[in-house]
Chains A and B, each alone.
Chain A
Amino acid sequence: MKESEQIMTRYLLGELSESEQSALEKEYFTDSQFFDQMLKTENELVDDYVRGRLSKEVRERFEQSYMAHPERRERVEFATALATKLDQIEFEQAPRGLSTWHRFLLAIRGQRPTLRLALALSTLLVMVASVWILVERQRKHEREQAQAARETARREREAQQVANEQRPAEGGQGIPQTTPLPTVSPTRSPDTAVSLALTVGGVRGGDNSRTPTLVIPQGTTQARLLLSLKDNDYSTYDLSLQTAAGAEVLSQRNVRPRSRRTGASFVFTVPAHRLESGDFILTLRGVGPDGKIDDLSKSLFRVEKR
């Protein structure tokens, strides 16, 4: 800003001494061009105030001094209306190719600084919230994908394990090869399943460790109970699943185990909805060639549904 304009601005803000004011006034009373420059400086000051272009300090001085006079406040009111109207005209005349963002900027440009700030903050808040929502959705999707991948890998491992256990044992004694058991085939459409491995040593030799627990998460469709036998002395077996109170959940008869190098194993698949939280007993009975049934083991385990 030129020095003369600075002095004019200070005059308009009532900051000159009496002698300085008098000297400036003599100038504009006798020189019409100087007076026109005064008017131009005043209009620019008022327009800068309306457009929010004044520094905080100058704005405060303007509001305290310039706007103390009612006719000067009317001038500001006029300038505000003019700025709004000019922005409307500019917005309407904006080229078609102008982006939505630029049109938005033009639309709010004429507003008061506090409103422009409020609009800008609101827009920023909406943008930040949108980005956060998108990021959270992406993370959730990635977590679900990772979980699904882990589940698929686990089922593949189990299927591989089962497939390995189906190979004939060395020196097998005519124990029949594994027959299809009611387990989920790996080729079936993906069901979510959980497994629990139980080892039995026979009726006399019980498992003395703490009660094994099968955790069934929400959404699980099947529970697989893997039972390993140390001894495989029977041709077929009966399996029976009961609650600790004695209610029967599921049973299977004439089941042939899967042979292993040592002993045999069973995979007993139960629909998850049949198992509520609580204690269960899986009973294994051997069926002799003469049809005699011997109790071989009772495996206690706990179910926790989540």
Chain B
Amino acid sequence: MELGLTADAFAKLLDRLGEDREQAGEKYEDLRRTLIRFFQWRGAPFPEEQTDETFNRIARKLSEGVEIKSIGGYCHEVARLVCLEALKEPHNRRAPLDEIKLEATTDTTDTAAEKEHSLTCLEDCLCSLPPESRELITEYYQDEKKGRINRRQVLAERLGLRRDALANRAQRVRDRLEQCVIKCLRKKLPI
């Protein structure tokens, strides 16, 4: 599997996504996010690498002159194949369910040190967010279910957003925060 998206493939892909480079870049980021989630949800072992492989294959097809009507639909088709190939690889096969079950039910933060580490990473990442994003995420995700619905309504009105627009904004901030925390957790993991 070729690692990373080549510069040429990237350029071809951006051309297909839109004439305006900035808008094309945003669409690329959205597609990339969707692909990574797809591979994670499907249980593929290396979601980011498999995302790059998907883009490479799409770019190859574009350079061959293949006309792609729906880029989203085509992405899905290519990604499915990449995922099936990845899961068929012997070294990519998942461990037997019993072992996974044992591991999966182990609390990954069951030691005080690990929990402390997670909280430290989260606090560092929260500090790295702009203040309005920090406030948004702490307000949006706080409180129990009933209170949360009212709280979000109040927050949406205060920010002048519709409920769904607020949800999308909160989701993006959460994704950013999550990526930051996971990066932090992986950095300090013992080799």
Interface residues of A (CB under 8 A from B): 11-12, 14, 21-22, 25-26, 28-30, 32-33, 35-36, 38-40, 43, 47, 53, 63-64, 67-69, 71-78, 80-82, 84-86, 89-90, 112
Nearest chain A residue, comparing its CB with the CB of B122: A81
Query: CB within 8 A of B104: which of A11, A28, A67, A89?
Result: A67
Query: Is residue B76 within 8 Å, beta carbon to beta carbon, of the partner chain?
Result: yes
Complex contact B119–A84 (CB within 8 A): yes
Which B147-172 residues have a C-beta within 8 angstroms of A?
A: 164, 167-168, 171
Interface of B is mostly: helix
Chain B residues, CB < 8 A from A12: 41
Distance in angstroms from B113 CB to nearest chain A CB is 13
Complex contact B97–A35 (CB within 8 A): no
Query: Is residue B133 within 8 Å, beta carbon to beta carbon, of the partner chain?
Result: no
Binds A, one of B4-12, B13-21, B67-75: B67-75
Query: CB within 8 A of A25: which of B76, B123, B182?
Result: B76
Distance in angstroms from A282 CB to nearest chain B CB is 77
Complex contact A69–B108 (CB within 8 A): no
Q: How far is the CA of A96 from the CA of B185 in the complex (A)?
A: 36
Which B165-184 residues have a C-beta within 8 angstroms of A?
A: 167-168, 171, 174-175, 177-178, 181-182
Q: How far is the CA of A77 from the CA of B186 in the complex (A)?
A: 12
Q: How far is the CA of A112 from the CA of B97 in the complex (A)?
A: 24
Which B30-75 residues have a C-beta within 8 angstroms of A?
A: 30, 34, 37-38, 40-43, 47, 70, 72-73, 75
Complex contact A85–B126 (CB within 8 A): yes
Query: CB within 8 A of A82: which of B38, B43, B141, B171?
Result: B141
Q: Please count how many residues in chain B sit with their CB below 8 Å of the partner chain's CB atoms.
A: 48
Complex contact B171–A74 (CB within 8 A): no
Complex contact B37–A80 (CB within 8 A): no
Query: CB within 8 A of B40: which of A22, A28, A53, A71?
Result: A71
Interface residues of B (CB under 8 A from A): 30, 34, 37-38, 40-43, 47, 70, 72-73, 75-76, 80, 94, 97, 100-101, 104-105, 107-109, 115, 118-119, 121-123, 126, 138, 141-143, 145, 164, 167-168, 171, 174-175, 177-178, 181-182, 185-186
Distance in angstroms from B173 CB to nearest chain A CB is 11
Complex contact A38–B122 (CB within 8 A): no
Whether A47 contacts B109 in the complex (CB less than 8 A), given A78-B178, A85-B119, comes out as no
Chain A residues, CB < 8 A from B30: 32
Complex contact B109–A80 (CB within 8 A): yes
Complex contact A30–B70 (CB within 8 A): yes
Chain A residues, CB < 8 A from B76: 25-26, 29-30
Nearest chain B residue, comparing its CB with the CB of A67: B104
